[in-house]
């Protein structure tokens, strides 16, 4: 039996909510850190790298529930206007790769903080620069071509750069340079990328955000594909209380503590459904 944990994107509040949920489930005897495969996109890549580090779940949850950060990360604005720009850029074609390239072009043209400043923030978030022993897949998109890429321990890319690329929200954070190419957020292809769990028998999808637009693959279709292949799948999204705690700006540092606590509380309501799939 192969178990896959899919961790989706959702900004700094998504990181916090995911850790709250994971910690709450662990307290109830459901250990998602026992996954054979972890797929991380954007916020999920941060959580995936931390989860795979071997450090106690409580360490990461405690850091989120108090809203503290030693990474130097600051709040940024990612609201309706920013989302509308991405939707506009990616909705002019039915070709997925071309749509991603249009969003990549927007990211390359945006004025952001220097790449090295953002890299230092990502490095401070992670337990180390080396890839963990367990299988971890981190998603990103090449900004010029729109190519969807999946980094792992065999890619020859540092964990810091892979996670930084996956978290490079277009128009907010700078694209990440790897091997002379520029990469942006894996959420440009899909906020969840659940289809990368193909081949697993049991799949838990943790999705702080799951909306899609234009030719982006829908989470519902990804899950249907996994189930059609014989996998048991459960999807956990923020409940009403968690959505209220997260708020409208997923890059608001001030919302981290509330989002983490909301995830921890929500674990009680979803524990049985998750345990039924996880085993």
Rounded mean pLDDT of 198-223? 94
pLDDT at 87 over 70: no
**CATH architecture observed for domain 3-74+112-278:** 3-Layer(aba) Sandwich (3.40)
For the chain, the C-alpha Rg in angstroms (whole number) is 17
Q: What confidence score (pLDDT) does residue 74 get? A: 72
Beta strands in the chain (DSSP E): 3-7, 37-40, 135-142, 148-151, 176-178, 181-185, 202-206, 232-236
Catalytic center residues: 42, 185
pLDDT at 66 over 70: yes
Q: What confidence score (pLDDT) does residue 167 get? A: 97
Rounded mean pLDDT of 227-233? 98
Q: What confidence score (pLDDT) does residue 17 get? A: 98
Rounded mean pLDDT of 58-66? 94
Q: What confidence score (pLDDT) does residue 67 get? A: 74
Q: Is 240 exposed, middle or buried (0-12, 13-18, 19+ CB in 10 A)?
A: exposed
Min mean pLDDT across 17-21, 65-69, 95-99, 223-227 is at 65-69
Q: What are the tens digits of pLDDT across the range 106-152? A: 999 999 999 999 999 999 999 887 999 999 999 999 999 999 999 99
| Domain segments of the chain as ranges | 3-74+112-278
Rounded to an integer, what distance in angstroms lies between the CA atom of residue 279 and that of residue 276? Answer: 6
Q: What confidence score (pLDDT) does residue 164 get? A: 98
Q: What confidence score (pLDDT) does residue 83 get? A: 67
Q: What confidence score (pLDDT) does residue 270 get? A: 98
Rounded to an integer, what distance in angstroms lies between the CA atom of residue 221 and that of residue 26? Answer: 29
- What three-state secondary structure class fits 234? strand
What are the φ and ψ backbone dihedral angles of 143, each rounded to 5 degrees? Answer: -65, -35
Q: What percent of the chain has pLDDT over 70?
A: 93
pLDDT at 70 over 70: no
Q: With bands split at pLDDT 50, 70 and 90, how would you rate the model's confidence at 96?
A: very high
Total-model pTM = 0.95
């Amino acid at each position: 039996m192969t178990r896959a944990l899919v961790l989706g994107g959702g900004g700094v509040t998504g990181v916090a909510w995911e850790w709250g949920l994971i910690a709450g489930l662990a307290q109830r005897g459901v250990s998602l850190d026992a996954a054979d495969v972890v797929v991380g996109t954007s916020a999920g890549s941060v959580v995936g790298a931390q989860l795979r580090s071997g450090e106690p779940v409580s360490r990461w949850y405690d850091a989120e529930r108090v809203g503290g950060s030693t990474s130097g990360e600051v709040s940024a604005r990612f609201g309706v206007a920013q989302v509308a720009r991405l939707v506009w850029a990616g909705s002019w074609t039915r070709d997925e790769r071309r749509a991603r390239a249009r969003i990549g072009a927007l990211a390359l043209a945006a004025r952001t903080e220097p790449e090295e400043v953002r890299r230092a923030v990502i490095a401070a978030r992670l337990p180390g620069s080396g890839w963990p022993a367990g299988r971890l897949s981190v998603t990103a998109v090449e900004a010029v071509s729109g190519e969807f890429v999946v980094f792992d321990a065999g890619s020859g890319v540092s964990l810091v750069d892979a996670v930084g690329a996956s978290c490079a929200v277009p128009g907010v954070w700078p694209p990440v340079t790897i091997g002379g190419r520029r990469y942006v957020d894996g959420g440009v292809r899909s906020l969840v990328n659940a289809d990368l769990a193909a081949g697993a028998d049991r799949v838990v999808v943790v999705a702080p955000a799951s909306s899609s637009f234009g030719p982006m693959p829908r989470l519902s279709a990804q899950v249907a594909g996994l189930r059609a292949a014989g996998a048991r799948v459960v999807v956990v999204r923020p409940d009403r209380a968690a959505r209220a705690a997260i708020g409208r700006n997923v890059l608001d540092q001030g919302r981290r503590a509330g989002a983490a606590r909301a995830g921890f509380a929500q674990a009680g309501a979803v524990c049985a459904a998750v345990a039924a799939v996880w085993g």
